[in-house]
Amino acid sequence: MNKKIKSPLIILVILVLILSLAFGCSSPEQPIKIGFSGTLTGRLSELGVSGRNGVILAVEEVNNAGGINGRTVELLTKDDKNDSDVAMVVDRELINEEVVAIIGHMTSTPSAEVAPLMNKEQMLMISPTAATNSLTGLDDFFLRVFPANKPETDKLAEYAFKKLGVKRVVSAYDISNPTFTREWHNNFQTEFEALGGECVLKKPFDTRSVTSFLDITQELISVQPDAVVISASAIDTAAISQQLRKLNQDIPVISSTWAMTDDFLQYSGPAGEGVVFAHPLKVGNQHEEYLTFAEAYTARFGNQPSFSATFGYEAARILMEALASSDNHSSQALKDYIIEKHTFHGLQGDFVIDRFGDAVRDVFLITVREGQFIRVEQDGK
Amino acid sequence: MGNRTSLKKVLMFHFVLFLLVPIFIINFFTFRVLTKHWEEEIAGRNYLLAQTLAGEVEEFLSEPIHILAQIQAVISEGSLVNDRYLDDYLSLILKNYQFFDMIQILDKRGEVQYVAPFNRDYLGTTVMGQDFFKATLAAGQPYWSQTFISTHSGQPTLTVSMFVGQGVVVGYLNLGKLTNVIDRVKFGPGSFSGIADQSGTYIAHTNKENVSQRVSIRKQEFNGNRRTYRYNDQGRDMLASTAMIERTGWSVMVSQPYSEVFAPVNQARTIFLAGTVFAWLAAILIALLTLNKVLRPVSELAQKAKEIAGGNYDSNLQANTYQEFSGLAQDFVTMSEAVKEREKEIKSSLQEKDVLLREVHHRVKNNMQVISSLIRLQAGHSQDRIQKELLEESQHRIRSMFLVHEKLYQSPDLAKIDFRDYVHSLVNGLYRSYGADPEKISLKVDVADIRLGLDNAIPCGLIVNELVSNALKYAFPQYANLFENAGHDQCGEIKVILRSVSEGKIELIVSDNGIGLPEGLDFKNTESLGLQLVTTLAEDELAGEIEVNRAEGLEYIIRFGGVS
């Protein structure tokens, strides 16, 4: 009997195979998951949104080029709401979702908060923009492509004291991101006072509860300072700048890196003219890689890349380069690759990630002229 | 025979070919046509949905413009010259039209002159750096900005601004209201609808986070030139329809997972597939059952034919579903019964003939025996020794012949006799007749299991009769008279051998260890009737050849063929 029905069975099998081919079926390889954590909502979201967009662009470019060793990269994004507790929660979610590494956080406070968790879980975190010194010089799983803020504050203090002749400053800083702003303020003050200057007024404020920047600004100028130093987001720095202009105060404004985004130019308008920053971003960067990136970014997101987009893109490229280097995607292996490689070719030229995973980059003095960021040395005024 | 194609295989192949292939082809093409139709219908439906949403958004947009135009008119008329009245007016507008979060009136340098809700922080600040202000001045017509974080609410917002006599009136729009438009469309999981501004950033989305987090529409998600298109969203196949809002450059998109959109198609495909497989299985089952029904009676008939050939006429063929096979089975039964009847008749007839033949042989034997007895009586009355011998020889010859008939009618098959038995009977009679002492002249009969027919048995019997008689008479003169030769020691021996030497060839040997033929006697040219008979019978009747071996005693070897 078996023999007798063999022929029809063979035909049946062939037809089923034809049918299967006709309807098609395939099972692609699992994507490599990477996480992104940053502040994506609220007043301070500019840094996070731009950083996330930079990461998205890098991931899309890699996927469009065929992925990493044939596997696509899947980006899982989380909003830390600039809240340390939320940051812990979303990072745990990413770990549970089996990401190979997390790009983030974009601000220092959540970064410093989650660093112990990353070490405990042995989860690699690469921050595009966190500048806190508290994570500098630690052999941990927290890496970054942005330099710590000490060289920046030193440079600004020196510039303010020596070039601008500023002797008395007032300082306003947003304590919704205290790890960064307090540290930044303290570093600046220490260096500025070491040079012979004086910080005559400290004005911490919390952007989440502030009611009037006019009041804050009036308080700042009430002591008749030579300059105002601000460590806050682009919107808030712009708001204080606007109030200063409104009050006809033509005094120098010195800002932290945090505010140096396109939003600052938009929100401050003419009031932003002359504000000074010290930043690792090479303004007017004409590197071919940067121009290609900027063009692609603008085409993709409809606006120019901010520094956080640039550093987000670089962080993602470094992570994906490490992922492509080996099939071992453990955080230790990825970290080892990055530390061993040491020098990376970024959008602004070569930069170094030292043995502690901290970026070493030059810092440039930048100001605003005619609604554009320019290098101070290029400023005719 | 073994190489011939099996009927079952051929029939199965045809079943498969003419049932399964058409089923597959019909299903395949029907499904293709249906899928195309469904795709077009679903694409059209989704595009219509996107257009409907775009229409609602257009409607939504016209109202803020209308309000701004109203403010513009009020300012132009200069009826509200007092600042406080203008502030109140703006606050009233804001209260009545809650899609505005904030309204500002700017001078031509972008400085905020009026703001509602009132906030002294804003007064005197400038929006000169903001894109919407520059664009409104440049365009001279209502301008819808891209999304940005509102300094007022801290949430993504966009503005609609309009040039007024000496400046710009700008309304900060509450995106939540746009989301309400989107939320009216209900989808399954994985689907979404959204509105993206001119830069591609979502200003309304089924997933609110995409707005609050200022997610940008992806290139593959959006293609303004195509009404409905497919794209891949992190491994998921999506179907999107886009409608443009010309006034703002926004796009309204409706996007659904392909699997969800085409769930009915997939269900139909599953049904088609299952139906095809089921139809195939059913077709194969029906083919097997039908073939079994067709071929079983054929096999049964073949088996019955074999049984009939073997003599078993117990024709018990089962009735079949098919009329043709039932008729055939019935005819077969009739035929087997007829054959059975005829065989019975033939057997009966044969039996009769058998009885008759035995009777004939019996009578022939009886008659010949009577003749033999008469000759023997005649011989008993004869005084002449020669005559007496002649009569006795004749009697022996007749006896050798009737013994054949006797053995024939005693034989089971009436056609052949057991020659060994015959030789024993014949030679024993001769011994008795010639008064030979078997202890003196021993007889050795070595006859193979050969059965001879009448044609061969009578010549052979006569030859053996002649040669053994000669041997008894002449070969052992020392025993011619038993009384004279009493006490003689040496034994004579007569051998009769009949054996098969090759296929169809028989060798008959009659020998003795007696004195042999006289010197110079040519057995073929002799006056002896007996030897003449032997030669004639061997060469003419048996068509054989005769050979005499005189080396030791006398040995006649007769070889003949034609025995099966």
Q: Work out the minimum CA distance from A371 to partner chain B, whole angstroms.
A: 7
Whether the upstream peptide bond of residue A105 has omega within 30° of 0, thus cis, is yes
What does the alpha-carbon distance between residue B422 and residue B88 come to, in Å, rounded to a whole number? Answer: 156
Superfamily of domain A150-279 in the CATH hierarchy:
Response regulator (3.40.50.2300)
* B16 touches A: beta carbon within 8 Å: yes
Burial category of A278 from C-beta neighbours within 10 Å (exposed 0-12, middle 13-18, buried 19 and up): buried
3-state secondary structure of B496: strand
* A7 touches B: beta carbon within 8 Å: yes
- Whether the predicted model's global pTM rises above the 0.90 cut: no
> Which residue of chain B is at minimal alpha-carbon distance from A16?
B277
Task: Say what the pLDDT of residue B226 is.
Answer: 60
* E strands, chain A, in order: 32-38, 73-79, 101-104, 124-127, 142-144, 168-174, 198-205, 227-231, 253-255, 276-279, 343-346, 349-353, 359-360, 364-369, 372-375
- Tell me the average pLDDT across B172-191: 81
Please name the residues between 91 and 110 in chain B that touch chain A, using a CB distance below 8 Å: 110
* B121 touches A: beta carbon within 8 Å: yes
Nearest to A239 among B151, B199, B218 (CB): B151
* Alpha helices for B313-384 (secondary structure H): 323-381
* B266 touches A: beta carbon within 8 Å: no
Task: Say what the pLDDT of residue A20 is.
Answer: 56
Residue B496's identity, in one-letter code, is: V
Task: Say what the pLDDT of residue A223 is.
Answer: 95
Q: Where in chain B is the domain with CATH 3.30.450.20?
A: 16-280
Task: Return the ∠ at Cα B263 (arms to B257 and B268), rounded to 5°.
Answer: 150
CB contact under 8 A, B20 and A15: yes
CB contact under 8 A, A266 and B129: yes
Q: Contacts of residue B107 in chain A, CB cutoff 8 Å?
A: none
Q: Work out the minimum CA distance from A262 to partner chain B, whole angstroms.
A: 10
Nearest to A246 among B15, B124, B129 (CB): B124
What's the pLDDT band for A17 if we cut at 50, 70, 90? Answer: low
Contact residues for B249 (Cβ-Cβ < 8 A; gap 6+): B144, B197, B198
DSSP state at residue B479: G
Phi-psi region of A140 (alpha: psi -120 to 50; beta: other; left: phi over 0): beta
3-state secondary structure of A303: coil
CB contact under 8 A, B121 and A18: no
Task: Say what the pLDDT of residue B2 is.
Answer: 47
Tokens, residue A3: 């023999």
- Tell me the average pLDDT across A65-93: 93
Q: Contacts of residue B276 in chain A, CB cutoff 8 Å?
A: 19
Percent of chain B with pLDDT over 90: 8
* A309 touches B: beta carbon within 8 Å: no
Q: Work out the minimum CA distance from B544 to partner chain A, whole angstroms.
A: 60
* Residue A265 burial (CB count, 10 A): 21
Residue A10: is its pLDDT beyond 70?
Answer: no
What does the alpha-carbon distance between residue A14 and residue B69 come to, in Å, rounded to a whole number? Answer: 72
CB contact under 8 A, A15 and B128: no
Q: What share of chain B is helix, strand, coil (3-state, %, to 5)?
A: 55, 20, 25
CB contact under 8 A, B121 and A28: no
Residue A164: is its pLDDT beyond 70?
Answer: yes
CB contact under 8 A, A303 and B146: yes
Nearest to B199 among A23, A52, A301 (CB): A301
Nearest to B149 among A46, A53, A268 (CB): A46
Exposure string (b/e) for B136-167, b if CB count within 10 Å is 16 or more?
Answer: bbeeeebbbbbbbbbbbebbbbbbbbbbbeeb
Residue B324: is its pLDDT beyond 60?
Answer: yes
Task: Say what the pLDDT of residue B482 is.
Answer: 45
Considering A201-215, B9-23, B54-68, the range whose residues carry the highest mean pLDDT is A201-215
What does the alpha-carbon distance between residue B279 and residue B267 come to, in Å, rounded to a whole number? Answer: 17
Q: Contacts of residue A209 in chain B, CB cutoff 8 Å?
A: none
* E strands, B139-296, in order: 143-144, 148-149, 156-164, 167-173, 192-196, 202-205, 228-233, 236-245, 250-257
* B8 touches A: beta carbon within 8 Å: yes
CB contact under 8 A, A271 and B125: yes
Residue A115: is its pLDDT beyond 90?
Answer: yes
Strand A124-127, strand A101-104: pairing? parallel
Tokens, residue B523: 């057995």
Residue B83: is its pLDDT beyond 80?
Answer: no
H or E element in which residue B511 lies: strand B505-512
Q: How far apart, in Å, are the Cα atoms of B444 and each of B242, B423, B510?
A: 123, 10, 10
Task: Say what the pLDDT of residue B562 is.
Answer: 65
Residue-wise pLDDT tens digits, B456-496:
888 999 999 999 988 888 888 876 554 444 444 557 889 99
CB contact under 8 A, A212 and B200: no
Phi-psi region of B264 (alpha: psi -120 to 50; beta: other; left: phi over 0): alpha
Best to test chain B binding among A6, A242, A298 (most B CBs inside 10 Å): A242
Q: Where in chain B is the domain with CATH 3.30.565.10?
A: 439-564
What's the pLDDT band for A303 if we cut at 50, 70, 90? Answer: confident
CB contact under 8 A, B277 and A16: yes
Task: Say what the pLDDT of residue B82 is.
Answer: 64
Q: How far apart, in Å, are the Cα atoms of A95 and each of A53, A121, A151, A319?
A: 21, 8, 33, 16
Q: Do the beta carbons of residue A344 and residue A351 sit within 8 Å?
A: yes
Please name the residues between 466 and 495 in chain B that touch chain A, using a CB distance below 8 Å: none
CB contact under 8 A, A214 and B121: yes
Residue A71: is its pLDDT beyond 80?
Answer: yes
* B269 touches A: beta carbon within 8 Å: yes
Nearest to B12 among A7, A42, A72 (CB): A7
Task: Say what the pLDDT of residue B1 is.
Answer: 43
Strand B441-447, strand B143-144: pairing? unpaired
Contact residues for A160 (Cβ-Cβ < 8 A; gap 6+): A166, A169, A192, A197, A227, A229, A252, A254, A276
Residue in the block written with tokens 């917002």 = B157
Residue B315's identity, in one-letter code, is: S
- Tell me the average pLDDT across B538-556: 89
What's the pLDDT band for B171 if we cut at 50, 70, 90? Answer: very high
Do A150-279 and A32-147+285-361 have the same topology in CATH? yes
What does the alpha-carbon distance between residue B100 and residue B171 come to, in Å, rounded to a whole number? Answer: 6
DSSP state at residue A40: -
- Tell me the average pLDDT across B430-443: 85
* Chain mean pLDDT for chain B: 83
Residue B246's identity, in one-letter code, is: E
> Which residue of chain B is at minimal alpha-carbon distance from A296?
B219
Tokens, residue B96: 């009545």
CB pairs under 8 A between A and B: 130
CB contact under 8 A, B213 and A74: no
Instruction: Report chain A's C-alpha Rg in angstroms.
Output: 25
Q: What is the CATH number of domain A32-147+285-361?
A: 3.40.50.2300
DSSP secondary structure string for all residues of A251-262: --EEE-GGG-SH
* B151 touches A: beta carbon within 8 Å: yes
Tokens, residue A48: 């996070």
* A245 touches B: beta carbon within 8 Å: yes
CB contact under 8 A, A8 and B16: yes
Backbone angles phi and psi of B177, in degrees to 5: -70, -35
| Least confident interval from A93-107, B216-230, B279-293, B482-496 | B482-496
Exposure string (b/e) for B331-342, b if CB count within 10 Å is 16 or more?
Answer: ebeeebeeebee
Q: What is the CATH number of domain B16-280?
A: 3.30.450.20
3-state secondary structure of A44: coil
Q: Do the beta carbons of residue A309 and residue A116 sit within 8 Å?
A: no
Please name the residues between 214 and 243 in chain A that touch chain B, using a CB distance below 8 Å: 214, 235, 239, 242-243
Task: Say what the pLDDT of residue A14 is.
Answer: 65
Q: Work out the minimum CA distance from A270 to partner chain B, whole angstroms.
A: 7
What does the alpha-carbon distance between residue B461 and residue B200 come to, in Å, rounded to a whole number? Answer: 128
Task: Say what the pLDDT of residue B323 is.
Answer: 78
- Tell me the average pLDDT across B413-438: 85
3-state secondary structure of A270: helix
CB contact under 8 A, A272 and B129: yes
Please name the residues between 33 and 72 in chain A that touch chain B, using a CB distance below 8 Å: 40-43, 45-46, 49, 52-53, 56, 60, 72
- Tell me the average pLDDT across B217-233: 69
Residue A356: is its pLDDT beyond 90?
Answer: yes
Task: Say what the pLDDT of residue A156 is.
Answer: 95
* A246 touches B: beta carbon within 8 Å: yes
Assign a CATH topology to domain B439-564.
Answer: Heat Shock Protein 90 (3.30.565)
Residue-wise pLDDT tens digits, B328-367:
888 888 888 888 889 889 999 988 888 888 888 899 889 9
Q: Contacts of residue A270 in chain B, CB cutoff 8 Å?
A: 126, 128-129
- What residue segments make up the domains of chain A, in order of their start? 32-147+285-361, 150-279
Q: How far apart, in Å, are the Cα atoms of A272 and each of A13, A254, A261, A284, B170?
A: 75, 11, 12, 18, 22
3-state secondary structure of A344: strand
Q: How far apart, in Å, are the Cα atoms of A109 and each of A87, A127, A236, B154?
A: 10, 12, 18, 20
Residue in the block written with tokens 């000496």 = B166
Residue B396's identity, in one-letter code, is: H
- Tell me the average pLDDT across B279-287: 80
Q: Which residue has the higher pLDDT, A171 or B476?
A: A171
Q: Work out the minimum CA distance from A341 to partner chain B, whole angstroms.
A: 31
